[in-house]
Every structure is written in C-alpha cells, then in structure tokens.
Amino acid sequence: MQFLLAFIVAAPLLGAVAALLPAPPGLKGTSPDQAVLRHGVTVTGAVLAAAIALTLGFDHDNASRMQATTDISWIPALDVRIHLGVDGISLPLLVLTALLTFLCALYSYAKPPAGPSPRAFVALLLVLEAGTLATFAVLDLLLFFLAFEMVLIPMYFLIARWGGEGRQAAAWKFILFTLLGSVVMLLGLLLVGLKAGTFDMVALATDNGRALSTSLQVIAVLAIGVGLAVKTPMWPLHSWLPDAHTAAPTVGSVLLAGVLLKMGTYGFVRIVLPIAPDGMHVFAPYLAAFAVAGIIYGSLACLALARSGARGDLKRLIAYSSVGHMGFVLLGIASMTPTGVNGALFANIAHGLITGLLFFLVGAVKDRFGTADLDTLAGATGAALYGRAPRLGGLLAFGAVASLGLPGLAGFWGEMLAMFGAFQPAEGLSRPAFLTYTAVACFGTLLTAAYLLVVVRRVCMGARPTADQPAVADVQGHEFAAWTPLAALTVLAGLWPAVLLGLTDPAVQQLLAGGKS
C-alpha cells in the first residue's frame, strides 16, 4: 500500500521526464509523435491501475484512518516531512484524478491536440497529474503548498500553447489570479505551522486548533481561505475561470473543471475545518453568503448566454455553470456539519464526472461544427443533434440533466445533502441566516434547470437534416472509450451513493470531532 501510493505520486513525474527523451528503438510506432502519445496513455493507465489497486486494498472499515502512509524527514530544521497518506476523504479524489487524466490521454492519442510538439504536451499533462495527485496525498502543509502550486505552470502552457482564440490573455489571467491568491495562502500556512510548532496536517487536525488562539485562527482562515477560494473558484474571485475554459483545449477544460477546482474545496475540508475551527465559525456565514451568490450569479450568467441572440459560447456557459455548482460545495462546507461536508465531497466527485463529460461533448460539437457559438448551433442549418448525430445529442442531453441534479444521477445527492446541511447548520451558526441561504440555493437549482434545458432545446432539437446539409459524424470509437466511464459512473453514483458516502462519512465525522472517532 505504501509503495502503491508513492508510485501513484511519483510515476507521472518520471513519465514526464521520459516523454522528453527519444523513444527507444522498436517503440516509435509509425511516428515519434504517436510514440509519445502512446507513452502518455501507458503512464496514466499504469497510475489509474495503481489507484484502483489502492482502492481495493483500502481498509473500508477504517476509512477515517490514514492508510498507505509514508513519513520521511525532509527538512529537519523546519520539521518538514515527506508525509503521504489517504483516507476516505482523499481516496475518491485520487481515483477521480487518475481516471480523468487517463481518459484525456486516451482521447489525445486518437485525436492529437493541434499545436506545438506532442512531446511537450504529454510531459505537461503528466506534470499536471503529478501535482494534482500529490495535493490529495500529502499530509504536510508546506508540501501541500508546493503540490498546489505545481499544477499552475503546466496548465498555463496547456492553455497558452494549445488553446484557442484569446489563449494568451486567458493563460496570463489564470496564473496571475492563482499566484496572487497562493501568496496570501502561503502566509497563512506558515503562520499556522510556526505558531503550532508543526506542519504535520494529521497532528494539527488532531489538536483541532487548541494550540492556536481564536484571533490567530481568524487571520489564518482569512489568508488560507483567499488562496483556496481563488482556485475553487468562489464568487467574486471567479473571473479567471470562464476565459481559461473558453480558451483551453478540450482536455485542458476537462482537467481544469474535473480536477483542479477540487483542490480548493479539498483544502477547506482538509486544512481549514479541522485546524482552525474557531476561525471557520467566524467566517462560515460569510462563506455561505458568497457561495449562494455564486450559485445565483453563475446561473444568471448561463441564462444570459443561452438566450437567443446573445452569441453565447457553449464552453463559456459550462464554465459559468461550474461557478454555481462549486457554490453548492462551499455551502455544504460552510454548514460545518457532517451532512453538509459529506454533501460537499459528494458534489465534488459528481461535478468532476459530469462537467468532465460535458466539456468532452462540447469539444466534440466544436470539432464537428467549427464553433461553440449557441446562435450558430441553433440556426437553420445548425446542430439539431437528435436528427444528425443522435448518440452525441443523447449524451449531451444526459450530461445536461445530470448537471441540473436529476434524481437517480450523481448530481442530485451532493447538492441535496449540501442544502440539508445548511438547513440545520452547526451549533453556534445563525440558523435564520442559513435558512435564507438554503432558500436561495433552492432557487438556484431552478435557474440551473432552466438554462440547461434551454441549451438542450437549442442544440439538440431542430428540423430533420435536409439532403444538402453536410453529414455530421456521430460518436466515434475513441470518444466512446473516453466518455463511457464518466457516464457509467454518473449513473452508478446516483443509484448507489452509499459507495462514496460510506468512504467519506467516517473520515468527516472524525475530522469534525477533532481527530476523535
């Protein structure tokens, strides 16, 4: 188990180095580009296999206990250690990251990205995977920060070099926003570690803030929370996200929405909630207020983009929808209850599966029609996917109804549990305020259904194709291979939520109890 977790974190980095080297004789395939793309599939596939093996070997009866731990002294003067481990909170995110990266590599092998050398693309993809996996596996505050920042450079280059129109400005906006937030977050992490005398996240969670004064906790939550909120992204710190998603290549958008946004909310659960509970109590009502503001803002922005004549971009619309969906995650965390936090963690995984699928589908629509402009797609010679590419249209409708929270699919449980948690928040939090937030969030679900159904009507429905309209390819083999796991897991998580909640609940209960079972 220790070896598996260490392999999961280290293998992508080693694979990135190997991707930059010449392919060995006999493994070049028909071209060097094909060889390096196959290398990406092989490395990410091996990491996914190791993540599945780790899940099978995980002691599900003790999901609250850190397992597969490695603890090695790294910088003795600062007591910084290479401390790795997984519990019921981090394991699902680890598997989600490995799965999405593998599917992106598989998709890119069949449809290589348009841009510079595939060798650099694969290396950046693997570095991005390594940083994300490390974020969910490390148990030291400084290592967490290093892993948290490690993903910025590869994502910057994926957007700036392989993105579409406006990619340079979008990439700069992405990295400047996240770097500025991270500088403030680093100050908060250093403040906590130096005042508590340790950077060990397990020891700090067990201490449950007893070594930190309330005023220091308030400062720490504010500083750390700003950096995490930018990455989440929380309204009004979200403005980098729509531009980044619109300009990013398809696999960049999938990983940005499916994995990178989860790093921010994971930090709230793993660091802020257990380490500074008194400071979190102070800021929880404000966090909830920003969360529901994001839900309404994201939904209204999507409605504005979806209306006829707005020239709305479908990728941009899905990006704004992420602001709303992550608002539900933040609302669940702000409730500081086991129900709300479990809902937030479930919504994290559901959003990764559903929005990852939606960005794959929007990328496919853009490849076929040359645009993601909704007015063009809904025009007289537009998409009409049900008639022209029925499988693609059916999958897009499936992703939309899953995203709006249809019962029986994964999107339903996380949002419902987050609102249940806000309906009865933790002791000491204002129930009237949280009841108001819950009511606003409920209204946000109606707006979400409205814009997603408008998108389905405009893109999927329409007149049957005429003889003079060019043929549109339906779902192809490589697309079916990349998309089927996400659709299947969306149904599985919706019909059998206990699989995921059985992992997260014991860990959340112990985390909120200050390390006590």
Rounded Cα distance between 44 and 124, Å, is: 13
CA atoms within 13 A on the CB side of 343: 29
Summarize the confidence of residues 457-474 as an average pLDDT.
74
List of residues 6+ apart from 182 with CB closer than 8 A: 145, 148, 149, 152, 227, 230
pLDDT at 246: 85
CA distance to 74, 375, 394, 396, 461, per residue, from 381 (Å): 62, 11, 19, 19, 12
Per residue, the 3-state secondary structure of 284-326, as one string, reads: HHHHHHHHHHHHHHHHHHHHHHHCCCCCCEHHHHHHHHHHHHH
- Confidence (pTM): 0.91
Quick: pLDDT tens for 280-309.
999 999 999 999 999 999 999 999 988 887
Rounded Cα distance between 136 and 502, Å, is: 19
pLDDT tops 70 at residue 367? yes
pLDDT at 28: 56
pLDDT tops 90 at residue 110? no
Percent of the chain with pLDDT over 70: 95
Summarize the confidence of residues 225-247 as an average pLDDT.
86
Contact criterion met (CB below 8 Å) for 511 and 90:
no
Q: How confident is the model at residue 517 (pLDDT cuts 50, 70, 90)?
A: very low
Give the residue from 31, 48, 46, 33 showing the smallest Cα distance to 122: 33
Rg (CA), the chain: 22
Range scoring the smallest mean pLDDT among 50-54, 320-324, 385-389? 385-389
Contact criterion met (CB below 8 Å) for 328 and 347:
yes
**511: three-class secondary structure by DSSP:** helix
Q: How confident is the model at residue 512 (pLDDT cuts 50, 70, 90)?
A: confident
Percent of the chain with pLDDT over 90: 40
Rounded Cα distance between 237 and 205, Å, is: 27
Summarize the confidence of residues 224-252 as an average pLDDT.
87
pLDDT at 195: 87
Phi (first) and psi of residue 88, to 5 degrees:
-65, -20
pLDDT at 466: 67
Range scoring the smallest mean pLDDT among 22-31, 130-139, 475-484? 22-31
Q: How confident is the model at residue 380 (pLDDT cuts 50, 70, 90)?
A: low
Average pLDDT, the chain: 87
Summarize the confidence of residues 324-350 as an average pLDDT.
92
List of residues 6+ apart from 498 with CB closer than 8 A: none
